[in-house]
Amino acid sequence: MSRAQTTAQLENAITFGSAKVEIRAYGSTGAFTDLGIGTGIEVDETVTPATLDPDNASKMVIDLAEHSIGFKMNLWELDFAKIYALRGGSSGLDTYGTQAAAPVSITTEQHVLTGTGFVPLNFKNGDNSEVGSIVVVDSTDQACARNTDYIIGIDGNGWTSIARVAGGKITDGEIAKVSYSYTPLASKTWSTGGKSSIGYLELKLTNVRFIGSSDKTKIVTIYKAQVSSGLKLKFPAAKDSTPLEYPLEMIAYDDATRTAGDQLCSVVDQQGV
């Protein structure tokens, strides 16, 4: 007969589900870029003691030989703009370019603006810049002024977004009608070889769990990571429903610019409290 030996001590500390993975350039305070969907998301800390092994005494542990964090993920979205960023961008290993398609005009695209939060437009420029020729009217077709009635921003994935200004013509929860022009891409070109430097990235993993009456997060931040694997594309058979994956690996060591004890990574946990 089975018998319980204990009970859950902090039940909300049990973590379920995977994580959203985001990156930004090391040292940046800008928006993070979402790497999208994939499998096998894994964080692996390595702690290796340094030892002395004298002939006439027991082995002695004197320090750490290595303290590092490894990260793995199989990317399903082969977005070569993000692969370029992962490998150092303009100061890294690769060369990247785009070919623009013809501009497209959008007329009176409707968005409900609640509070003062940003809402992304339905289409974006292929180079992730702000869309052009933005004209905004409220639900009654009154013309609205930028920075008076609404503001425009760009998120970490290059989507032009709109938010209402409190006290402006657009009331809370009202529909704003946005006209603009965007330029999609016809193609992307990524190439590599002949360069020897690669940059560092800040890596953020976010797990969300609904606890009580709201979403609670567990956020792992790796301060100074670097890609440690090359491009490997294993094409599946035609009858295989699994998509082509890019196995991404990264490694991080101490960031000596930070306070000792907080140089490698951190976990901010709203769940297990």
pLDDT computed for residue 30 by the predictor? 87
Q: Is there a domain that residue 252 lies in?
A: yes
Collapsing DSSP to helix, strand or coil, 168 comes out as coil
Global confidence as pTM:
0.80
Euclidean distance between CA atoms 182 and 127, whole angstroms: 10
Q: Is there a domain that residue 159 lies in?
A: yes
> Domain check: are 115 and 173 in the same one?
yes
Euclidean distance between CA atoms 234 and 247, whole angstroms: 10
> Domain check: are 61 and 194 in the same one?
yes
Residue 121 belongs to domain spanning? 102-183
Residue written as token pair 């993070």: 32
Q: What is the pLDDT along the chain (273 residues), one digit of tens a residue?
A: 788 889 988 888 889 999 999 999 999 998 899 999 999 999 999 999 999 999 999 989 888 889 999 999 999 999 999 999 999 998 899 999 999 999 999 999 999 999 999 999 999 999 889 999 999 999 999 999 999 999 999 988 899 999 999 999 999 999 999 999 999 999 999 999 999 989 899 999 999 999 989 999 999 999 999 999 999 988 989 898 889 999 999 999 999 999 999 999 999 999 988
Closest C-alpha to 81, from 37, 128, 42, 123: 128
> Domain check: are 129 and 255 in the same one?
no
> Domain check: are 73 and 135 in the same one?
no
pLDDT computed for residue 106 by the predictor? 97
Domain count, the chain: 2
pLDDT computed for residue 161 by the predictor? 97
> Domain check: are 37 and 107 in the same one?
no
Q: Provide the CATH number for the domain around residue 262.
A: 2.40.30
Closest C-alpha to 178, from 232, 94, 107: 107
Q: Is there a domain that residue 67 lies in?
A: yes
Euclidean distance between CA atoms 121 and 160, whole angstroms: 6
Q: Is there a domain that residue 5 lies in?
A: no
Q: Is there a domain that residue 128 lies in?
A: yes
Domain closes at, from 155, 183, 211: 183
Residue written as token pair 């990247």: 96
pLDDT computed for residue 69 by the predictor? 96
The amino acid at residue 217 is T
> Domain check: are 142 and 178 in the same one?
yes
Residue written as token pair 């491009």: 231
Domain closes at, from 183, 207, 230: 183
Euclidean distance between CA atoms 63 and 60, whole angstroms: 9
> Domain check: are 168 and 237 in the same one?
no
Euclidean distance between CA atoms 273 and 268, whole angstroms: 11
> Domain check: are 86 and 212 in the same one?
yes
> Domain check: are 41 and 156 in the same one?
no
Closest C-alpha to 131, from 163, 153, 160: 160
Residue written as token pair 């082995």: 59
> Domain check: are 196 and 84 in the same one?
yes
Domain closes at, from 130, 163, 183: 183
> Domain check: are 217 and 155 in the same one?
no
> Domain check: are 199 and 256 in the same one?
yes
In sequence order, which ranges of 87-128 are alpha helices (DSSP H)?
none
Q: Is there a domain that residue 11 lies in?
A: no
pLDDT computed for residue 252 by the predictor? 96
pLDDT digits (tens, 9 = 90+) for 7-31: 988 888 889 999 999 999 999 998 8
